Structure 1
């Protein structure tokens, strides 16, 4: 894999830390700015909304830019938004900075996915995607717990400053490491095709099916992950000190899942999605049923992290293969699909909790969402896996 891919993954790591870090900072932040914790929770929703809207809009806006400069601009805006958030004493201003940061993050990830698959051979899109998404999983393992510790020690503003500083090496590396000649070629091709031509590709049935499946699987992941802490403490009976360790285990599993799925997404996507989906469905149901056992809860956090991100990254790779005729906008719609799931999943889990179904219910909701994805996948399997046999034969011939 090209070194530039790891440069992009470094930037994704810093941005992923920002996306998830508020879960451990809300009480301190709410006290400091004089708002309720529930009001402070709107910062998370604002970020998700910015990601959903920002991915396609920023990809369209940047279609005529060389990718190196588009990535640099998005990352610079992301840094400035965090600096502004770190110094403000006004909750409304902080809310605006979260939206701006999310839009910039969405633009970076969308263009980054397009740049990543353009740097590698046509049969290596899964591996390229796994490297990039590895930055998100590492944020879960190291960035988010580290941000929580930093926030507890020095206040929530210190975490915002830390994210901004962490982006600076990535900003320099993007300027130095992303190949400009290739970007110019791809950008010119995208401009020639135009937005409407790429939009027609994205409206094809196969692309739509894959994006819906990605949204459902990610909704299941974030539904269960968002409420993993109360499941661990209130159902499994573990002390609160275990929560960071369990979250880190989930992150370690997700990194392993993305890494293993990278190659399989290119060579054996159909078995990976079929068997991985079945295992993922069974795992969420098993977690809900056995969460009263501390050992089961801890082990399944690791296993489900691996399965969720293996299946999720495979679906993103499948979307990029299906949308190969939309090199500029394909990554943006994949990004938007992921964030639709990231926003919808916790909301559905919250509804289950509000209905009095208990802390096991988000895991059950996750199982239902994966089951829905499996049903759609089976009904549309001919469309979903069209061309995979030819692709696998070509790989074996090589």
Structure 2
């Protein structure tokens, strides 16, 4: 049972998850209604991701001097308004702009929300608290996205965005009623906060997220043709397969939070990236078997999404004094991973390889991410040894 104080963050994650992922299922409906091709409609996915990358550091940088509760309320208000704008967009170009604007509050909400969750959590359970916020994304994949896709197919894609607006309005009420009020950062210095990104460790984490999590999206972007053309499932079952992946993500999300609290975010991240490498290699070789394909869909979703909380805590712990802006940048990095995974995963398909090949590309990306995680751990060990030697001297 989710505590009332965390529920606003979970609901915010639910709304954000629906609007981000439902677009994949609505492309045919939008292309038909607005008289564009499906590839052109696909630019709406890129527009949202671009909005996340732009808005994450920008909005936190602007609003960081205010109390976190006010920041989150303002971000959710923008999110709700821009999704309402999407629902009423009369042309493709206006919808493109609406999707870009809808993405702006995404990374900032998760960035600020992660810091808030870690501060109001019980001692030793910060990562598990962060996982409660990301649980909204997993619920979106299990319930929200299939429901939004069904409504879009059978009624209108505009009603799918109306669902997001409804969730946004409920989130606004819950934020005001139940989220604890934390004080604003005293003597905030934006220049000092941004100086975190002059450090090598900041960029190691950013590259680790952007490349390593790209392994998830290389697989997930092509899961529909993988399961239909390789595993032999009908197109009518894809929605249920995506729900199975979403259930795996939900289980993995909470496991990742527990793991990061039990051990450490850096060690958990390295272990889970290595697990993702192994999992995606198995996917490549067993998907021809329908039963094994379903089992690996659940496991891969679980392993991949278990990274969410550890990575977010890793960035927060590394950025003392710059937690909010650093956590928001990690969300922007996730979306870069989304774009990179889909792009690199599609390259072997263009050259005639089958739909198991994106899983192999994903394994390679996860392996590179694991190398960055190992580099960060070794760097921290070297720093501790240096400090120990200096103190002895």
TM-score normalised by L of structure 1: 0.91
Q: Aligned Cα RMSD in Å?
A: 2.0
Q: Distance in 2 between matches of 1:86 and 1:377?
A: 41
Picking from 191, 206, 210, the partner of 2:205 is: 210
Name the structure 1 match of 2:41.
40
Distance 1:303 1:384, change over 3 A: farther
Equivalent residues in 2 for 1:246-395, closer than 5 Å? 246-269=241-264, 271-383=267-379
Q: Is contact 1:68–1:178 with CA below 8 Å preserved after alignment?
A: yes
Q: Which segments of 5 or more consecutive residues in structure 2 lack a partner in the other structure?
A: 385-393
Distance 1:386 1:325, change over 3 A: farther
Distance 1:308 1:248, change over 3 A: same
1:277 offset after TM fit, Å?
2.5
Name the structure 1 match of 2:388.
none
1:131 offset after TM fit, Å?
0.9
Equivalent residues in 2 for 1:130-209, closer than 5 Å? 130-180=131-181, 182=182, 185=183, 187-189=184-186, 192-209=187-204
Q: Distance in 2 between matches of 1:312 and 1:73?
A: 24
TM-score normalised by L of structure 2: 0.92
How big is each residue's C-alpha offset from its partner over 1:103-142, in whole Å with a ceiling of 9 and x where there is no partner? 0222222221222223235643311221111111111111
Distance 1:83 1:271, change over 3 A: closer
Distance 1:387 1:144, change over 3 A: farther
How big is each residue's C-alpha offset from its partner over 1:139-183, in whole Å with a ceiling of 9 and x where there is no partner? 111111111111122121110111111211111111122223x2x
Q: Distance in 2 between matches of 1:264 and 1:116?
A: 17
How big is each residue's C-alpha offset from its partner over 1:191-217, in whole Å with a ceiling of 9 and x where there is no partner? x13112112234333333223222222
Structure 1 window deviating more from structure 2 (109-118 vs 140-149): it is: 109-118
Distance 1:54 1:293, change over 3 A: same
Name the structure 2 match of 1:70.
71
Q: Distance in 2 between matches of 1:250 and 1:203?
A: 38
1:304 offset after TM fit, Å?
0.6
Name the structure 2 match of 1:115.
116
1:271 offset after TM fit, Å?
5.0
Q: Distance in 2 between matches of 1:11 and 1:248?
A: 20
Paired positions, count: 383
Q: Is contact 2:131–2:308 with CA below 8 Å preserved after alignment?
A: no
Q: Is contact 2:76–2:105 with CA below 8 Å preserved after alignment?
A: yes
Structure 1 window deviating more from structure 2 (274-283 vs 253-262): it is: 274-283
Structure 1 window deviating more from structure 2 (32-41 vs 98-107): it is: 98-107
Q: Is contact 1:74–1:108 with CA below 8 Å preserved after alignment?
A: yes
Name the structure 2 match of 1:239.
234
Q: Is contact 2:114–2:312 with CA below 8 Å preserved after alignment?
A: no
How big is each residue's C-alpha offset from its partner over 1:288-317, in whole Å with a ceiling of 9 and x where there is no partner? 112111112111010011111113431222
